Structure 1
Amino acid sequence: MTQQKVWVLGNGQLGAMLAHAGQPLALDVRPVDIMNPTDDKLPLADNDIITAERELWPESSTSLQLSEHPNFINGAIFARLADRFTQKSLLDELEVATAPWELVEDETQESNLHQAYGDRVLLKRRTGGYDGKGQHWLKQAESTTIPADWRNEAIAEQAINFDEEVSLVGVRTQDGRCLFYPLALNLHQDGILMASVAPLARLSHLQAEAERMLSTIMNGLEYVGVMAMECFRVGDELLVNELAPRVHNSGHWTQAGCHINQFELHLRALCNLPIHTPQVNYPCVMVNLIGIEKDDRWISLPNAELFWYNKEVRVGRKVGHLNLSAHNDELVQDSIAKLKQWMPEQYQAPLEWIIKEFS
């Protein structure tokens, strides 16, 4: 029997974890380096399936060969969601709540933006911004101005005084069923996700509304596979901040906490394999490893699973993540106490945040 091949546009950590998840399913998952392409043709077959680990990629003979394949699942959706203008336009069209916004055009004036959205207005580049990059604050008190080269290339968004940030990872099957993991609570620092905790009983009353919102989006796009929806929680209301048409950092906790993780769930949907609602085995904490060297003491923790990406360590770069299973609060607090001793200053506040959630 010939193995089903799944090609991934991109060979970063998400592609690597997709390949790992494909092995128990007897799927031949092949991440492709699209940042350093060659002129060699890929041996694509008619029944191969194509997915992507990122929303944008450079145009080359390699990326064109993959993206123009008839089995490039969700092909037109990646570019639509990669552009914040078309992503926000979609949310408005589907009547899914998001922060008030508008396109920054040639004639857009700072005074009009402040009049519409308040003293602080966040500009976001339409494409390419992630982990806090591609953002610029307009602050009325400081007379901050719109950068000249951001006109028509950015949106302006009302600053939201949110209570906290949550995300929902879900999947849509080829026959249109939508299934979900529990909401995850996320902590960002300098625009970068530092930690996620899921599930939390105190968020359960928001689950149905979050599922309704993401179902509306995935059905509206006729999407197939895993999608992540990052939201601001304001009281008992959710506002969509960003969408990711792929597996997502805030879903990494599912590798330890669920019997089907987000990577396997995505592959099952793409390959039309049986899918049911993932079971949560126990709560889990995910800690992103950012700009720090690998420390083997981490895996001395009895509830820790390490995922190291084999990247060059640089300031602000995600180089791995730790999943800590939370069989009981005492175990979590003991593990976090040890990590506080072993990890640098920038981790002290996020680790305290985790302890607080489990106390």
Structure 2
Amino acid sequence: MKRVCVLGNGQLGRMLRQAGEPLGIAVYPVGLDAEPEAVPFAQSVITAEIERWPETALTRELARHNAFVNRDVFPIIADRLTQKQLFDKLELATAPWQLLSGRDEWTSVFQNLGELAIVKRRVGGYDGRGQWRLHSHETDQLPDDCYGECIVEQGINFSGEVSLVGARGHDGTTVFYPLTHNLHQDGILRTSVVFPQANIEQQQQAEAMLSAILHELNYVGVMAMECFITPAGLLINELAPRVHNSGHWTQNGASISQFELHLRAIVELPLPQPVVNSPSVMVNLIGTDLNYDWLKLPLVHLHWYDKEVREGRKVGHLNLNDSDTGRLSASLEALVPLLPAEYASGIAWAQSKF
């Protein structure tokens, strides 16, 4: 039996474990503070569900492990500065940006980047945390400890957000899912919609960009790339060197889920192109109590993370897919009264895509 240890024991590690069972792969998600002797890493392939981690007895041990796939890639992508430098090196389109070193740079920042500045911490920060949208009269809102630890980007006028989830094998083989359309609210992904046939021009551009990154880093496994849609084409926003929230629809909407695809890649199993036959929708469950009435709707697949429900916390997701978009839209409509009121706008957005 093949063994995989996942650094991190959140929902992504849990879903990797679930994906490994039918393949005969024993997947062990482990907390960062686990005792090394309690983790069967010696005979395992090592992967991670997070980009960065503190130094602990376990992470020190894993850092020396020869089978830690992408070990040297994580620091590059986990720091937004080195991530942006990678895009520039590969001449990939992004929003204009610069390092924000001190308060005295604000005048030149707005001269160079325009009237809206998007400030992001170089490391950490996710789901809208560690980010600020600032105009020139609002710069005092930025904490002092951000200077030298943040990048600043030009605020982009984009018409939509998409992500590309793909994988690369040890032999350099690459496969990709269709582009996923995403709706974010307050920096958190709320809803994703995907179609078997994406916009050809956007799909080709995204695959070319992500392929260049995967090959440059000699990356193995699943990676997600988030992009803005602009009149000039796609602009890369950020990378995730792991399975990704916007790929959760693949659990029920593709012949191979992103979790299975990642495991196949890192343990050198066959990596065929996943087949997607019907439109899919993923609804993130954020700070929402479990409601089994969702399952009264035959298209609904529930994925519950068994986490304490807290405001702003991702606690599960719902997947729906059907080749009949009318039936899919009707199921989404039937979900609305079974969810808190704030979900209605995201569901209406998804319905507008059909």
For normalisation by structure 1, the TM-score amounts to 0.95
Q: Say which of 286, 297, 310 aligns to 1:290.
A: 286
Which blocks of at least 5 consecutive residues in structure 2 are unaligned? none
TM-aligned CA distance change 1:274 to 1:142, over 3 Å: closer
One-letter amino acid matched to 1:306: L
Identical-pair percentage: 50
Q: Say which of 48, 62, 70 aligns to 1:52.
A: 48
In structure 2, the residue matched to 1:27 is 25
**RMSD (Å), alpha carbons:** 1.5
- For each residue in 1:174-204, what CA deviation from the matched residue of structure 2 results, as whole angstroms up to 9, or x when unmatched? 1111110000000000000001111264633
- Mapped pair 1:353 → 2:342: no
Q: Is the 8 A contact 1:49 1:71 kept in 2?
A: yes
Q: Say which of 329, 334, 339 aligns to 2:335.
A: 339
Q: Say which of 63, 69, 86 aligns to 1:67.
A: 63
Q: CA deviation at 1:137?
A: 2.2
Q: CA deviation at 1:235?
A: 2.2
TM-aligned CA distance change 1:129 to 1:196, over 3 Å: same
The number of aligned residues is: 354
Residues in 1 aligned to 2:209 and 2:303: alpha-carbon distance in whole angstroms = 31
- For each residue in 1:285-321, what CA deviation from the matched residue of structure 2 results, as whole angstroms up to 9, or x when unmatched? 0000000000101111111111000000000000000
Which blocks of at least 5 consecutive residues in structure 1 are unaligned? none
Residues in 1 aligned to 2:320 and 2:326: alpha-carbon distance in whole angstroms = 12
Moved more, 178-187 or 131-140: 131-140
Residues in 2 aligned to 1:208 and 1:128: alpha-carbon distance in whole angstroms = 31
- Mapped pair 1:308 → 2:319: no
- For each residue in 1:239-261, what CA deviation from the matched residue of structure 2 results, as whole angstroms up to 9, or x when unmatched? 00000000000001111111101
In structure 1, the residue matched to 2:204 is 208
Q: CA deviation at 1:234?
A: 0.3
- Mapped pair 1:84 → 2:97: no
Q: Is the 8 A contact 1:119 1:141 kept in 2?
A: no
In structure 2, the residue matched to 1:8 is 6
- For each residue in 1:71-91, what CA deviation from the matched residue of structure 2 results, as whole angstroms up to 9, or x when unmatched? 000001111101000000111
Q: Is the 8 A contact 1:126 1:153 kept in 2?
A: yes
Residues in 2 aligned to 1:296 and 1:89: alpha-carbon distance in whole angstroms = 46
In structure 2, the residue matched to 1:42 is 39
One-letter amino acid matched to 1:265: L
Q: Is the 8 A contact 1:184 1:200 kept in 2?
A: no
Q: Is the 8 A contact 1:225 1:265 kept in 2?
A: yes
Moved more, 241-250 or 296-305: 296-305
Partner SS state of residue 76, structure 1 = coil
In structure 2, the residue matched to 1:258 is 254
Moved more, 121-130 or 275-284: 275-284
TM-aligned CA distance change 1:275 to 1:264, over 3 Å: same
Q: Is the 8 A contact 2:189 2:284 kept in 1?
A: yes
In structure 2, the residue matched to 1:225 is 221
Q: Is the 8 A contact 1:226 1:262 kept in 2?
A: yes
Residues in 2 aligned to 1:236 and 1:354: alpha-carbon distance in whole angstroms = 24
Q: Is the 8 A contact 2:30 2:39 kept in 1?
A: no
Partner SS state of residue 340, structure 1 = helix
Partner SS state of residue 73, structure 2 = helix
Q: Is the 8 A contact 1:285 1:326 kept in 2?
A: no
